[in-house]
Chain A
Amino acid sequence: MDFAARHAGFVIASYAVAFVLVGGLITATLIRYRSVRRRLEELERLGAPRRRKAEDGSAARDRTEEQPA
């Protein structure tokens, strides 16, 4: 690419915008992932059960709760 060419600034600005937006998304994703993982580890350390007990004492199931593989 000829960086001295006419309109080169628009090209550089486009790549910079894309880089900043994608970089921001990646950073935000990693921050959120690490914070969720830390909270999960904290709850596991506290011995929190993975499913709540229903009124009758049986485990109340949720569609997304962990199931054995």
Chain B
Amino acid sequence: MFNYLANPTRFLKLQAAVQPWLTTLAVIVLGYGLYLGLFVAPPDYQQGETVRIMFIHVPASSLAMGIYVFMAFAHAIGFIFRHPLADAAAKAAAPVGAVLTLISLATGSLWGKPMWGTWWVWDARLTSMFVLFLLYLGYIAVWQAVEEPHRAARIAGIVALVGVINVPIIKFSVEWWNTLHQPASLLKKGGPAIDSAILTPLLWNMAGFALMAAALVLLLMRTEVLSRRVRQMEMAQVGRAG
């Protein structure tokens, strides 16, 4: 499969076949998850209705971190195996990750105001998440600033691989430092510390967000492969004219 996808034309064929199914599945799962989160899940005994913010905040946050790890992994594959689509996959994932990070920061802030009494504190979790957003912006800026794609991929790869160190810092910040942000309640020893009435919609939304992100990344990858083809054709045309 790995080598099979090394051919951009094969990838385009596979993507065209998978895209409609993946998009439909994402719409169904996310739609059901949002319905459960907004209309079925009960209000929390402490947080009240604001617990519903968690149904978008938690999936957005976990995916924002997951996508950055995916980008670093893709660039590592690009560096080691010279896989022709690895850089394109990482580049395609960046805007999705950046938007999810922004959603995480914004919804976290909207949850923090009624629950903590403040929109923002510079605690370890919030600050490291903000650093992740800056890393995404820096990564995207590299691709925009460097015109030659292979050079841009190399520099962006370094940004992704160096920046990935921030992901475990985000994850363990609530354990390493005394933070206002609560410790992990989903991925922890002894299983999730969340009641099934809240956990079920949360998991549906996490699956829905992941499918939506995958569908968007696939379409962005297709766009990237086609835009590289356009670039080659334009250069060939210039060469022919010269």
Contacts and interface: CB of A to CB of B under 8 A. Distances in A.
Contacts of A51: 232, 236
A48 B232 CA distance: 9
Interface of B: 7-10, 13, 34, 38-39, 43, 48-50, 52-53, 56-57, 60, 82, 84-85, 88, 95-96, 99, 102-103, 106-107, 110-111, 113-114, 149-150, 212, 216, 219-220, 222-223, 225-230, 232-237, 239-240
B56 A18 contact: yes
A10 B9 contact: no
B9 A69 contact: yes
A29 B219 contact: yes
Main SS of chain A's interface residues?
Answer: helix
Contacts of B95: 25, 28-29
A37 B219 CA distance: 12
Contacts, number: 142
B236 A17 contact: no
Interface of A: 1-2, 5-8, 10-11, 13-15, 17-18, 21-22, 24-26, 28-30, 32-33, 36-37, 39-40, 43-44, 46, 48-53, 62-69
A25 B228 contact: no
B230 A43 contact: yes
A49 B57 contact: no
Contacts of A36: 223, 226-227, 230
A29 B216 contact: yes
A48 B56 contact: no
B232 A52 contact: yes
Nearest to B239: A52
Contacts of B225: 64
9 A-B pairs with the lowest CB-CB distances in the bound complex, closest first: A52-B236, A48-B233, A7-B114, A52-B239, A48-B237, A14-B107, A33-B223, A63-B84, A14-B53
